[in-house]
């Protein structure tokens, strides 16, 4: 099952088309940390995270993990934990997964630069939630209802093509 970013406003899977938003500075083949671009390429999908205190456990064939208060995602290019889930740590630059807003109530990891990480190539590339389609820092964002449909359609072998 392949998800395709048809254009910067449309995510397609089978007969479903979902309105989406991407990185503020568009798509980029050679992404770098902090450029606000969504990386081009075909990628596997990783863990599906959710906020148990706000939303129900999602129905999905993916690996599902509850977001805890102390969870973060390392965006420090100099760290051995770069582009990995970590416990929040003041000594390591990271993004909190347990956010005050709704955007990470559900999030799906796009396996970009995750297996063998290259420093400064970009981190924390997710599919997450939006309400107003404001451009992201590099992720792809969907409405909650569309996100929940998408995760029911895909499985651990699904990929996303961003071009």
Q: What would the pLDDT profile of 79-108 be if each residue is shown by its tens digit? A: 999 999 999 988 999 999 999 999 999 999
How far is 109 from 132, CA to CA, in rounded Å? 21
**In this structure, is residue 115 part of a structural domain?**
yes
Range of the domain at 85: 2-156
Query: What confidence score (pLDDT) does residue 13 get?
Result: 96
Query: What confidence score (pLDDT) does residue 1 get?
Result: 85
Angle in degrees, CA 24, 46, 12, rounded to 5: 55
Counting the structural domains of the chain, the total is 1
Q: Model-level pTM greater than 0.85? A: yes
Region 25-50: what's the mean pLDDT? 97
Query: What confidence score (pLDDT) does residue 34 get?
Result: 96
DSSP for residue 81: T
**In this structure, is residue 89 part of a structural domain?**
yes
| 115 burial via Cβ count (<10 Å: 0-12, 13-18, 19+) | exposed
Tell me the pLDDT tens digit for each residue of 113-157: 999 999 999 999 999 999 999 999 999 999 999 999 999 999 999
**In this structure, is residue 162 part of a structural domain?**
no
Residues 6+ apart with CB under 8 A from 119: 77, 78, 82
Could you tell me how far CA 38 lies from the centroid of its own chain? Answer: 10
How far is 43 from 132, CA to CA, in rounded Å? 26
How far is 38 from 63, CA to CA, in rounded Å? 23
Structure tokens at 65: 């993990």
Region 3-13: what's the mean pLDDT? 94
**In this structure, is residue 138 part of a structural domain?**
yes
Residues 6+ apart with CB under 8 A from 100: none
């Amino acid at each position: 099952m392949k998800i395709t970013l048809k254009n910067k406003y449309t995510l397609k899977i089978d007969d479903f088309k979902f309105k989406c938003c991407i990185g503020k500075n568009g798509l980029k083949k050679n992404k770098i940390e902090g450029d606000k671009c969504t990386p081009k390429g075909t990628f596997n999908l990783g863990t599906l995270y959710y906020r148990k205190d706000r939303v129900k456990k999602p129905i999905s064939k993916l690996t599902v993990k509850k977001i805890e208060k102390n969870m973060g995602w390392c965006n420090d290019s100099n760290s051995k934990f770069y582009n990995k889930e970590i416990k929040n740590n003041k000594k390591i630059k990271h993004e909190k997964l347990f956010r005050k807003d709704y955007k990470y109530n559900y999030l799906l990891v796009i396996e970009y630069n995750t297996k063998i990480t290259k420093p400064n190539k970009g981190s924390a590339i997710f599919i997450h939630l939006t309400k107003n389609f404001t451009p992201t820092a590099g992720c792809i964002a969907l409405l909650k209802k569309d996100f929940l449909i998408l995760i029911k359609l895909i499985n651990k072998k699904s990929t996303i093509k961003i071009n």
